[in-house]
């Protein structure tokens, strides 16, 4: 008794947790925390400026602050081409002398340029910090470009026209690249060659020399600022600014979570009242955000557009498969917004980088369309291919719109997009079984796998109990249609029906559908024994299903499809037998002839139970007519309601009425009556009927 009470308390606690409003509020709070932590470091920026030449700096106690100081590369570049034109036009110098001049000139010119700029900084009225000036000088010297020796031998051969044409190309390239924030000049120098190849220069030597001169004219313009870093860490003003930004971020996160909450609340999804599914949704968001954050850590590797590698569609696919595809669309909007925040590396003045947001939304929506109603794991791989195509298309569109002509960036982006689709598909296939096992979720993919006739239990059912197998298939057709008519899980009903009577394989001959041309053994045994054999098939089925590690929902359908219904035939047989024998000392109890239950705890189990009873009853009719079918369905449903077998599931009366209509329509399609053709009139030896003969006379 104590054990039973303890089990009831445990079950009550579990059910209470699943429905608790307090738990639901806590889960939404966790979701807000995930959104906040994912975005926090991307919002906190400092408003401290160092004179007119200092850009807005990121406040992060773990990251040093860099300040901008632009060196006029165009003046340096113009001076180089002026010198080229001057020396090459001077006929007093021989080719060899010009070569030697260039070997010395480039190094001397660079040193002189750096020295002049440092002096200008030191004498500036802006009073730049001495340590900052020293850092600039050190970086300019350390990052000086090593002009290749072979280029010195090509420079003297340039004509004035070639120099002018090269000057225009070099100026355009250097001007565009120096607009970026450059800590490492070599990164920008690596982009020069492709930009030169895209220019109007056709001569190979001109291309090579423009590439080298442009590289030589690119300097770093973003330098570590020790004073600003120290000041930012201790600045009260900065702290106040951070508080305002944190408040703004909190408000934004609250809006996102409220938006998600309102959609779920106004939907008819189970997640609205099911904390288990809500917990799963939170886990999916956490996994997706972590995936984006891990990819974002690779930003220090200086790969352009690394964010396109992030498997943002992972969360959308999981939600579409495990929960609901409409909810997946809503979640995809949030994933896209946070992708544009997390991967906003280049533009610190704005919160969002629209490029990542657009690509993320495209691949998320594509993945949902691809996996919606997916029935095989190969569908997930196909979705990965579609994600790749969608990502590449959207990336190409963005590059064309922004008119970015750096081919290497485009190639990097497409490569990351190709890897994105593959990673997303692999991760979904790998993570899906975890969610199915941990949360007791049966995905459509898993259900379709279980419906394979080659499954050992279904093969056993077919070979040992063909009558039961046929009955199960019929129940599957009925229950799937009925479930879909009320928005329940039709696929779960179908697969559950396949396995609901698998326990009959233990004693197949004791069930009427398997008694082909054989006597009914129940005619010769005691009704108590018959009752025990019949009732045991539900328990035996659950044990077999658990032995094969079948999902809990399938086991529950097998256990609950009879509920606590009464075996009327054997009950009344036992009572009649008692009356005939006159043994009236111990009355036959109705409770002894009921299934042990439990009653159906969810819609799908209740539907399978109704369909099981209806199919068996209608099949017993020799030639079922429409009126008979309607009467039979109504009677069975009425009996179940009066017996309170549907009280513990969440079926409404309106849904039960819809199920009844669906059962009647499906049964009429299965047991339709053949058209009775009128008897043809007899003909004489000539093939003429009597009526025809009369008419001819």
Tally of CA atoms within 13 A in the half-sphere of 483 that contains its CB: 25
pLDDT the model gives residue 54: 39
Please determine, for residue 576, whether its predicted confidence score (pLDDT) is greater than 90: no
- What would the two tokens of residue 538 be? 């539900």
Tell me whether residue 681 is exposed, middle or buried, using C-beta atoms within 10 angstroms of its C-beta: 0 to 12, 13 to 18, 19 or more: exposed
Q: How confident is the model at residue 15 (pLDDT cuts 50, 70, 90)?
A: low
Which pair of structure tokens corresponds to residue 514?
Answer: 């398997």
Q: Is the pLDDT of residue 14 over 90?
A: no
66 SS3 class: strand
Residue 519 near residue 509, CB atoms below 8 Å: no
Q: From 1.20.120.530, 1.10.1270.20, 3.40.190.10, 1.10.1760.20, which CATH number describes the 18-41+246-444 domain?
A: 1.10.1760.20
% the chain with pLDDT above 90: 30
CB count within 10 Å of CB 618 equals 20
Provide the CA 591 distance to its chain's centre, in angstroms: 49
Q: What is the mean pLDDT of the chain?
A: 82
Beta bridge partners of 222: 68
User: For residue 474, what pLDDT band results from cuts at 50, 70 and 90?
Assistant: very high
634 within 8 A of 660, measured Cβ to Cβ: yes
Q: What is the pLDDT of residues 403-425, one digit of tens each?
A: 766 687 888 889 999 999 999 99
- Owner of token pair 């629209």: 354
Position 12 scores a pLDDT of 52
pLDDT at 580 over 90: no
- So what's the pLDDT on residue 42? 67
- Angle value at C-alpha 17, between 12 and 22, nearest 5 degrees: 135
Q: pLDDT exceeding 70 applies to what percent of the chain?
A: 85
pLDDT at 34 over 80: yes
What CATH topology corresponds to 455-670?
Hypothetical protein af1432 (1.10.3210)
What's the pLDDT score for residue 63? 60
For the stretch 542-575, pLDDT in tens is: 999 999 888 888 999 999 999 999 888 888 888 8
For the chain, what are the domain ranges? 18-41+246-444, 66-228, 455-670
Residue 57: pLDDT over 80: no
- Is the sign of the CA dihedral 22, 27, 30, 36 positive or negative? negative
Task: Specify the pLDDT at position 405.
Answer: 67
Whether residue 668 is predicted with pLDDT greater than 90 in this model: the reply is: no
CA–CA gap between residue 603 and residue 535 (Å, rounded):
22
What is the per-residue pLDDT across 197-234, written as a single tens digit (0 to 9) for each?
888 888 888 888 889 898 988 888 888 888 777 776 66
What are the residues whose beta carbons fall under 8 Å from the beta carbon of 481, sequence distance 6 or more? 490, 662, 663, 665, 666
């Amino acid at each position: 008794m104590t054990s039973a009470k303890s089990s009831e308390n445990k079950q009550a606690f579990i059910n209470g947790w699943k429905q608790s409003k307090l738990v639901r509020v806590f889960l939404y709070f966790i979701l807000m925390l995930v959104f906040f932590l994912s975005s926090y470091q991307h919002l906190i920026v400092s408003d401290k400026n160092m004179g007119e030449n200092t850009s807005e700096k990121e406040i992060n106690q773990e990251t040093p602050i860099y300040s901008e100081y632009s060196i006029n590369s165009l003046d340096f570049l113009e001076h180089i081409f002026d010198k080229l034109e001057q020396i090459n036009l001077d006929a007093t110098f021989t080719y060899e002398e010009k070569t030697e001049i260039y070997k010395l000139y480039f190094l001397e010119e660079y040193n002189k340029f750096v020295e002049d700029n440092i002096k200008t900084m030191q004498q500036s009225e802006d009073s730049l910090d001495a340590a900052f000036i020293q850092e600039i000088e050190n970086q300019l010297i350390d990052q000086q470009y090593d002009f290749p020796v072979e280029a010195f031998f090509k420079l003297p051969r340039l004509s004035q026209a070639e120099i002018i044409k090269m000057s225009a190309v070099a100026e355009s390239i250097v001007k565009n690249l120096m607009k970026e924030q450059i800590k490492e000049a070599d990164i920008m120098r690596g982009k020069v060659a492709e930009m030169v190849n895209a220019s109007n220069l056709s001569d190979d030597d001109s291309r090579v020399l423009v590439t080298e001169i442009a590289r030589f004219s690119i300097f770093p313009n973003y330098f570590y600022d020790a004073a600003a870093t120290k000041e930012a860490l201790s600045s009260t003003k900065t702290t106040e600014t951070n508080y305002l930004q944190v408040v703004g971020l909190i408000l934004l996160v609250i809006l996102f979570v409220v938006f998600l909450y309102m959609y779920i609340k106004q939907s008819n999804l189970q997640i609205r009242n099911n904390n288990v599914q809500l917990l799963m949704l939170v886990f999916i968001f956490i996994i997706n955000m972590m995936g984006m954050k891990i990819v974002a850590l690779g930003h220090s590797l200086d790969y352009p557009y690394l964010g396109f590698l992030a498997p943002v569609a992972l969360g959308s696919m999981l939600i579409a498969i495990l929960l609901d595809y409409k909810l997946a669309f809503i979640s995809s909007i949030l994933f896209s917004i946070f992708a544009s925040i997390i991967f906003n590396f280049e533009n610190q003045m704005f919160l969002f980088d629209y490029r990542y947001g657009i690509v993320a939304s495209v691949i998320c929506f594509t993945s949902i369309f691809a996996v919606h109603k997916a029935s095989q794991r190969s569908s997930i791989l196909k979705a990965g291919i579609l994600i790749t195509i969608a990502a590449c298309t959207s990336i190409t569109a963005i590059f064309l719109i922004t008119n970015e002509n750096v081919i290497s960036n485009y190639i990097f982006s497409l490569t990351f997009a190709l890897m994105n689709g593959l990673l997303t598909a692999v991760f979904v296939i790998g993570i899906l079984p975890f969610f199915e096992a941990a949360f007791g979720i049966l995905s459509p993919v898993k259900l379709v796998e279980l419906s394979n006739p080659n499954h050992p239990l279904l093969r056993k059912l077919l070979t040992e109990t063909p009558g039961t197998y046929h009955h199960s298939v019929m129940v599957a057709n009925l229950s799937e249609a009925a479930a879909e008519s009320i928005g329940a899980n039709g696929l779960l009903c179908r697969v559950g029906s396949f396995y609901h009577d698998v326990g009959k394989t233990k004693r197949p001959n004791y069930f009427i559908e398997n008694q082909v041309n054989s006597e009914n053994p129940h005619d010769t045994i005691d009704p108590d024994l018959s009752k025990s054999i019949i009732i045991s098939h539900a328990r035996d089925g659950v044990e077999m299903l658990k032995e094969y590690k079948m999902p809990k929902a399938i086991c529950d359908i097998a256990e609950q499809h009879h509920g606590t219904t009464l075996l009327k035939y054997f009950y009344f047989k036992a009572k009649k037998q008692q009356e005939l024998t006159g043994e009236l000392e111990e009355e036959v109890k109705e409770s002894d002839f009921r299934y042990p239950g439990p009653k159906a705890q969810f819609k799908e189990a209740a539907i399978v139970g109704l369909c099981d009873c209806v199919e068996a009853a209608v099949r017993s009719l020799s030639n079922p007519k429409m009126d008979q079918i309607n009467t039979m369905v109504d009677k069975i449903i009425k009996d179940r309601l009066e017996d309170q077998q549907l009280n513990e599931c969440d079926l409404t009366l309106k849904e039960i009425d819809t199920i009844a209509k669906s059962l009647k329509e499906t049964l009429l399609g299965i047991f339709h009556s053949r058209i009775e053709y009128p008897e043809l009139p007899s003909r004489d030896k000539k093939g003429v009927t009597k009526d025809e003969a009369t008419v001819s006379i």
